[in-house]
Amino acid sequence: MEKRRLGNSGLEVSALGLGCMGLSFGYGPATDTQDAIKLIRTAFERGVTFFDTAEAYGPFANEELLGEALAPFRDEVVIATKFGFDGGDSKAGLNSQPESIRAFVEASLKRLKTDRIDLLYQHRVDPNVPIEEVAGTVKDLIRSGKVKYFGLSEAGAQTIRRAHAVQPVAALQSEYSLWWREPETEIIPTLEELGIGFVPFSPLGKGFLTGKIDENTTFDSTDFRNIVPRFAQDARKANQGMVDLLTKIANEKNGSGVPATPAQIALAWLLAQKPWIVPIPGTTKLHRLEENLGGASIELSPDDLGAIEEAASQITVQGARYPEALLKRVGN
């Protein structure tokens, strides 16, 4: 798989990474450990060198899983993890106090079985701790060799600028896909100006853009999507037009001799937006992993992109992407 650089940082990763959250957290019961290790190692064999986790995924279980799975080839991969929730619990409050960040890094290094964190993100902006203080703490950790690069997640443009002035931000991780395009307004121009890479999570709309979810789909009782307004039954029905668009483009590719699926078109579209965008689709299934990685080899022509843009502009996506309580934690 071809590589991409995350902005001006010099951090080089595979054009698609692997978002590992769903193996342990958020989308129903955790995947069997050996099956999860096999999936992570298969991704590496297929050219993926960028793996995303967080202390809150479990909590802790996902970092431990990655530590075990990536140990045989640790020096050949880039591991990204995140701090920022009190005690690692995403249901608890935010906590980016300097002493908490330092304690997290020490514990995370043990869980990941490594001597450095390649890319350390603040998971969500903590309104109680000035971002300059957070960036300064990470700057010290970088000087000590325990961290290599600094990242932010779901931060707003002004926060990104303030943090970047203290310690250069290598990457922003936020949601971005054909059905969540708000970053195009202010975030992407800011990242381009400052030379910061963009790592879209949920590039397949939490599974919706694959075409495998419709208004009749039911989710496990522990699946996060049960509380997401965009996944309410009426919203799924209303949003089917976006999947229909991706299916149409995929069918046209198939007709011209290029095998493609809606998921692959959605990923190819993201990759075509900027050369410093690196999506991190997640999956628990080997065949979906293979399908997703195939998206990196699909070329969308200017005509393809124009057609997608024109058709997408006619579609109004229904439903908020987060419940109201969680929306308060993003874009600050």
Q: Is residue 37 part of a domain?
A: yes
- Whether residue 156 lies inside any domain: the answer is yes
Report pLDDT for 57.
98
Q: What is the DSSP string of 266-281?
A: HHHHHHHH-TTB----
CB 242 within 8 Å of CB 213: no
Could you identify the residue written with the tokens 């250069």? 168
Structure token digits, residue 10: 């010099």
Q: Looking at the domain assignment, is residue 128 inside a domain?
A: yes
The CATH number for 103's domain is 3.20.20.100
Residue 26 lies in a domain: yes
Q: Are the C-beta atoms of residues 47 and 293 closer than 8 Å to each other? A: yes
What's residue 96's pLDDT? 98
Is 72 a domain residue?
yes
Our count of domains for the chain comes to 1
Whether the Cβ atoms of residue 52 and residue 280 lie closer than 8 Å to each other: yes
Confidence band of 108 (pLDDT split at 50, 70, 90): very high
Judge whether 332 lies within some domain. no
pLDDT averaged over every residue in the chain: 97
Query: Is residue 54 within 8 Å of 81, Cβ to Cβ?
Result: yes
Dihedral in degrees, nearest 10, Cα atoms 95, 332, 17, 176: 150
Task: For residue 141, give its domain range.
Answer: 3-327
Length in residues, the chain: 332
Which pLDDT tens digit goes with each residue over 161-184?
Answer: 999 999 999 999 999 999 999 999
How many Å apart are CA 39 and CA 63, to the nearest integer?
Answer: 15
Q: Can you list the positions of beta strands (E) in 3-125?
A: 3-5, 12-14, 18-19, 50-52, 78-83, 117-122
* Of residues 214, 279, 259, the one with CA closest to residue 241: 214
Task: List the catalytic residues.
Answer: 57
The pLDDT-based confidence of 113 (bands split at 50, 70, 90) is: very high
- Is residue 253, in this structure, part of any structural domain at all? yes
Give the pLDDT confidence score for residue 275 in this predicted structure: 98
Q: How far is CA 261 from CA 160, 238, 239, in A?
A: 35, 21, 18
pLDDT in tens, 120-158: 999 999 999 999 999 999 999 999 999 999 999 999 999
Strand (E) or helix (H) holding 34: helix 33-45
Residue 211 located in a structural domain = yes
